[in-house]
Structure 1
């Protein structure tokens, strides 16, 4: 059994990102306690869990209990797969209903009694305890360092445009499409989504109607070491012409929300409808689209008119003048 700790800013989206990756790995989520997910999967899931954007960490779940006393008793009965030295670290979630103040010392003593050495400054193995409705203990396998994502935020890229998704969110959009080979962003802007997809080993395709964006996105992709890309200058409502005969495995994009200038002189809702139709025409049957729309645009209804089926919708308030939904759609073949 494994565990994943998801982030709390977009928890439903984070949970579905994990679910999508586990579907690729042949596993599944079997329980949830606030931001703690119990996962039924084995080591085959590691490459997929390593892709996560909206997660804090994942690891092996060793013990689950209804009380501190039960946790300590179970901890005595299991074999701890610890390499080298260890340290016990406690995560007290917002719904914690147990007194875990002295738990690191008590659990550390139990593990130490099995012959393992404690190192509080630089442990080889981190034993993680989570307190929610229940208490859990496990061994961390992977920590998703926020600094890795911070280095790819818009202001740290060589080609800078201030309006851009956080890299964690871009990564999650890619993962929600379940792409394993390639992905298209038909409104790529400075290329933030393509950067995250490229770092996952996917071939990335990008389109923008502005030459400076095509040039700038290429600069950004090269800066972060993405080599397998194809960028084109063109109209996102005419993708069939740009990629004649090509069907894409997945599409992820964050359309512009603003003025006529940022929308190349077109009305916003008309642009969105045209983009949805064009994406549908170049997406494989059963392929997924992850896309953001402002809440004032009925993305579900408009996408369903084209032939998409909604799989997920996640609300985010960016600031007082921008509220949006992230959507995940699946292409249903037309009868």
Structure 2
């Protein structure tokens, strides 16, 4: 059994990102306690869990209990797979209902009694305890270091545009499409979504109507070591002309939100409708689209008119003048 700790800023989106990756890896979510997910998955699922954007970490779940005493009793029966030295670290979630103040010391003593050495400053293995409605203990396998994502934020890129999704969110959009080979962003801007997709080993296709964006996106992709890409100057509402005969496995995009945003002279909502039609025309049957729209636009209704099926919708308030939904659609 595994566990995944998801981030709390977009929890429903984070859970569905995990679900999408487990569908690719042959696993499933079997329980949830606040931001703690219990996962039943084979080892081959690690390859897909390693892609996660909206997660803090994942690991091997070894003990689950209703009380501190039960956790310690069960822990004595576990053959702890410690490599080198270890440390016990407790995560007290917002719904924690147990007194875990002294638990790291007590659990550490149990594991130490099996012959494992403690190192509180630089442990080789981190034992993680989560306190929610229940108690959980396991071994961390992968930590998603926030610094890795911070290095790819807009102001760190060689071609800088301030309006850009956080790399974690871009990564999640890519994963929600369940792309395994390729991904198209028809309104790529500075290429933030394409960077994340390219770093996952996908071939990336990008389109923008502004020459400086095409040049800048290529600069950014090269900067982060993405080599398998195809970028085009063109109109996102005419994708069939840009990619004749091509059907895409997956599409993810973050279109402009401003009320004055235009493309080829269209008003914003007209642009969104035209782009949705264009994406539908080049997406493979069963392919997925992950996209963001302001709440004032009925993304679900407009997409379903075209034949898309809505798989997910996630609300985010960015600031007082921008509230949006992230959508996942399937053709």
Bin the TM-score by the shorter chain.
over 0.9
State the superposition RMSD in angstroms: 0.7
Q: Distance in 1 between matches of 2:23 and 2:279?
A: 24
Q: Distance in 2 between matches of 1:180 and 1:221?
A: 19
1:161/1:264 Cα in 2 relative to 1: closer, same or farther (>3 Å)?
farther
Counterpart position of 2:222: 222
Q: Distance in 1 between matches of 2:309 and 2:270?
A: 20
Counterpart position of 2:148: 148
Q: Distance in 2 between matches of 1:180 and 1:310?
A: 21
Counterpart position of 1:63: 63
Counterpart position of 1:257: 257
Contact 1:58–1:143 (CA under 8 A) maintained in structure 2: yes
Q: Report matched runs for 1:247-326 at 5 Å.
A: 247-260=247-260, 263-326=263-326
1:102 to partner: Cα distance = 0.2
Helix, strand or coil for the counterpart of 2:184?
Answer: strand
Unpaired runs of at least 5, structure 2: none
1:266 to partner: Cα distance = 1.7
**TM-score normalised by L of structure 2:** 0.99
Q: Distance in 1 between matches of 2:118 and 2:288?
A: 47
Counterpart position of 2:189: 189
Contact 2:85–2:117 (CA under 8 A) maintained in structure 1: yes
Helix, strand or coil for the counterpart of 1:216?
Answer: helix
Contact 1:260–1:266 (CA under 8 A) maintained in structure 2: no
Q: Distance in 1 between matches of 2:266 and 2:323?
A: 21
Counterpart position of 1:232: 232
Q: Distance in 2 between matches of 1:118 and 1:145?
A: 23
Counterpart position of 1:163: 163
- Corresponding pairs, count: 331
Counterpart position of 2:82: 82
Q: Distance in 1 between matches of 2:303 and 2:190?
A: 25
Counterpart position of 2:35: 35
Unpaired runs of at least 5, structure 1: none
Counterpart position of 1:245: 245
Q: Distance in 2 between matches of 1:120 and 1:45?
A: 31
Helix, strand or coil for the counterpart of 2:47?
Answer: helix
Contact 1:59–1:138 (CA under 8 A) maintained in structure 2: yes
Contact 2:235–2:264 (CA under 8 A) maintained in structure 1: no
The Cα offsets for residues 66-90 of structure 1, whole Å up to 9 and x where unpaired, read as 0000000000011101101000000
